């Protein structure tokens, strides 16, 4: 009889252990499935973002290539302009050395011309504003 109680106790312990293992496997399996689903969603999201970044990078590379080409085209022109400016600076520096008494009348004439140009610009701005107002009034009447 001792063996039968021990055998029953063993079988009962085995069944309880299997039941507990089953419930643990079920809970772990459910949680694992949920993690796999979330991982798949995150991966799809990141794949979309990577695709978008790659598309944007391709556009930036295209624009950069165009800009680099334009820069290479313009550099010689800028260098030529700088050389011409240096030549003009040399010509101005090598010009006749005027004394202040000789340069004063020329400077005063240049200053008078600048003042007159400023007055003319103010008048032309007023005329342009007047014409713009007239155009708006004509549009309203039409």
DSSP 58-77: HHHHHHHHHHHHHHHHHHHH
User: Rounded to two decimals, what is the model's pTM?
Assistant: 0.39
pLDDT tens digits, one per residue of 73-106: 888 888 888 888 888 777 766 666 656 666 677 7
pLDDT value for 48: 95
Question: Half-sphere exposure of residue 140, counting CA atoms within 13 Å on the CB side?
Answer: 6
Q: State the Cα–Cα distance between residues 125 and 119, nearest whole angstrom.
A: 10
Q: State the Cα–Cα distance between residues 38 and 36, nearest whole angstrom.
A: 6
| pLDDT tens-digit profile, the chain (142 residues) | 556 877 777 887 888 777 777 777 777 778 888 889 999 999 999 999 999 999 998 888 888 888 888 888 888 888 888 888 888 777 766 666 656 666 677 778 778 888 888 888 888 888 888 788 887 877 777 6
Tokens 């643990």 found at? 24
**Residue burial 41-67, b: 16+ Cβ < 10 Å; e: rest:** eeeeeeeeeeeeeeeeeeeeeeeeeee
């Amino acid at each position: 009889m001792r063996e039968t109680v021990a055998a029953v106790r063993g079988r009962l312990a085995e069944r309880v252990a299997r039941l507990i293992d089953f419930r643990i496997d079920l809970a772990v399996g459910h949680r694992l499935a949920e993690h796999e689903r979330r991982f798949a969603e995150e991966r799809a999201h990141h794949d979309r973002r990577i695709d978008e970044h790659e598309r944007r990078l391709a556009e930036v590379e295209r624009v950069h290539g165009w800009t680099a080409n334009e820069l290479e085209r313009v550099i010689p022109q800028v260098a030529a302009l700088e050389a011409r400016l240096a030549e003009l600076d040399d010509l101005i520096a090598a010009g006749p050395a005027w004394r202040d008494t000789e340069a004063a009348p020329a400077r005063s004439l240049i200053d008078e011309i600048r003042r007159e140009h400023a007055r003319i610009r103010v008048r032309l701005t007023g005329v342009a504003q007047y014409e713009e107002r007239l155009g708006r009034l004509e549009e309203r009447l039409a």
